[in-house]
Amino acid sequence: MSVALTKNQELAMNGGSPVRKTLLPYGRQWLDEDDIAAVVEVLRSDWLTTGPKVAEFEQAFAEFVGAKEAVAVSSGTAALHAAIYALNIKPGDEVIVPALTFVASANCVVFQGGTPVFADVDPETLLLDPEQVEAKITPRTKAIMAVDYAGQPCDYDTLQAIADSYNLSIVADASHGIGGSYKGRRVGSLANLNTFSLHPVKHITTGEGGVITTEDFELARRMRAFRNHGITSDHRQREAEGSWFYEMVDLGYNYRLTDFQCALGIRQLQKLPDWVERRRAIASRYNDAFATSPSVKPLGIAEDVSHAYHLYVIRLNLEHLSADRSTIFTDLRSQGIGVNVHYIPVHLQPFYQRRFGTRRGLCPVAEWAYERILSLPIFPSMSDQDIEDVITIVHHVTNFRDAPI
């Protein structure tokens, strides 16, 4: 008796298919013994939090990105929240946010009572499209949230020209972008406020963590109070001054990053240049491998940027395939390739539809892209064999799902 195979079983059996035994994730942290030793050293010291390592990490981070000030906080989301707070965004204010980003880029505006206004992205780069930004400006617009999607810096000169002519601030959500540059200027020094995430899938990690960089001392001062309940002095300063007195001048949060996390951050930062190089080498191998594929198209890259490749995103040419993105996603996962999708357009999330009435059709390019994108594994400790496995299996799956001509 013959049993009908599902397409997926057929794929798995197809011609000695190159299935991997273990799932290769799309991103992964890299921790060495010296990272662990640095954390343990702090755990044995007097200061577990708000001690000397915070300032040391902030200084090293500011130097790395070429900014005057760096403020360390407990997550990338806290960094975005602090930036929106520092700009004094209030109820009634609007911030223009790209539709294709992680929800936190928009949520931070809502935290302060503001309204995120979604703008569409460029179909080649999936970065915020400056023309779409200008089309969304109203008398209530206060800022533009520029997200360096996948690790490619936005077109900051064009965005800055728009911001200058309408008197707006720019927040760069550079959670994907550390190590990149735009026209020779480093990510972290490109906007009024630049935010980073130190989550384990990002370039460097402190477990959870975030940083905001700025040239503006006053904004940095406001954010340092904001991360500490809105109190103007911290525990260590009061201890040094032998004082108990403190003042809460504004509403803040506990968004502090611990000293042992900062000790980890200092170590990770030292390795970042090599890791970004490795990410670029992996991306370059993928670019070559998919250059002539009829089914898979890498994202476009502007000429004047240096990409940091937090993600390597491909667009599926659905017109050339007999399956949709969800099926290809499942195929690749079943073959051991841990692909992911970045992102579901934020305006399609139930919360945004309910609270702000956003609907399908609002940002057609982001919606079109969402149906086609997949993030392939990219992280510095990937072996050359891992990279070749990804390439072979992507070719294998897309050939198998080739549309009949």
Among positions 197, 214, 293, 358, the unique one binding ligand PLP when judged by CB under 6 A: 197
Is 186:66 a contact under the CB 8 Å cutoff?
A: yes
Q: How far is the CB of 116 from ligand PLP (least distance, A)?
A: 13
Contacts for 309 with CB less than 8 Å, ≥ 6 apart: 150, 151, 276, 279, 280, 282, 283, 378
Rounded Cα distance, 314 and 309, in Å: 12
Among positions 69, 173, 259, 367, the unique one binding ligand PLP when judged by CB under 6 A: 173
Instruction: Of 144, 31, 40, 138, give the one whose Cα is nearest residue 97.
Output: 144
Among this protein's residues, is 202 annotated catalytic? yes
210 binds ligand PLP per the rule CB under 6 A: yes
160 binds ligand PLP per the rule CB under 6 A: no
Residue whose CB is less far from ligand PLP, 101 or 375: 101
Please report how many Cα atoms fall inside a 13 Å half-sphere around the Cα of residue 297, on the Cβ side: 17
Q: How far is the CB of 345 from ligand PLP (least distance, A)?
A: 13
Closest residue by beta carbon to ligand PLP: 76
Region 52-81 residues binding ligand PLP, contact defined as CB under 6 A: 75-77, 80
User: In 3-state terms, what secondary structure has residue 251?
Assistant: coil
Q: Tokens in use for 10?
A: 């057929």
Q: How far is the CB of 226 from ligand PLP (least distance, A)?
A: 16
Among positions 147, 193, 316, 374, the unique one binding ligand PLP when judged by CB under 6 A: 147
Residue whose CB is less far from ligand PLP, 172 or 391: 172
Q: Residues binding ligand PLP: what is the number (CB under 6 A)?
A: 15
- What strands lie across the sheet with 69-73, from one edge to the other? 69-73, 210-214, 193-197, 169-173, 141-147, 94-98, 115-119
Q: Are strands 115-119 and 69-73 parallel, antiparallel or unpaired?
A: unpaired
Residue whose CB is less far from ligand PLP, 205 or 358: 205
Among positions 142, 186, 199, 325, the unique one binding ligand PLP when judged by CB under 6 A: 199
Q: Which entry of 136, 202, 271, 297 is annotated as an active-site residue?
A: 202
Q: How far is the CB of 176 from ligand PLP (least distance, A)?
A: 6
User: In 3-state terms, what secondary structure has residue 304?
Assistant: coil
265 binds ligand PLP per the rule CB under 6 A: no
Among positions 83, 104, 110, 150, the unique one binding ligand PLP when judged by CB under 6 A: 104
Q: How far is the CB of 310 from ligand PLP (least distance, A)?
A: 8
Rounded Cα distance, 290 and 312, in Å: 12
**What DSSP string runs through 364-377?**
HHHHHHHTTEEEEP
Residue whose CB is less far from ligand PLP, 85 or 400: 85
340 binds ligand PLP per the rule CB under 6 A: no
Rounded Cα distance, 57 and 134, in Å: 37
Q: How far is the CB of 179 from ligand PLP (least distance, A)?
A: 15
Residue whose CB is less far from ligand PLP, 196 or 260: 196
Is 38:182 a contact under the CB 8 Å cutoff?
A: no
Q: String of b and e for 166-180 (b: at least 16 CB within 10 Å)?
A: eebbbbbbbbbbbbb
155 binds ligand PLP per the rule CB under 6 A: no
Residue whose CB is less far from ligand PLP, 201 or 318: 201
Q: Tokens in use for 385?
A: 């064999």
Residues that bind ligand PLP (CB under 6 A): 75-77, 80, 101-102, 104-105, 147, 173, 175-176, 197, 199, 210
Catalytically active residues, by annotation: 202
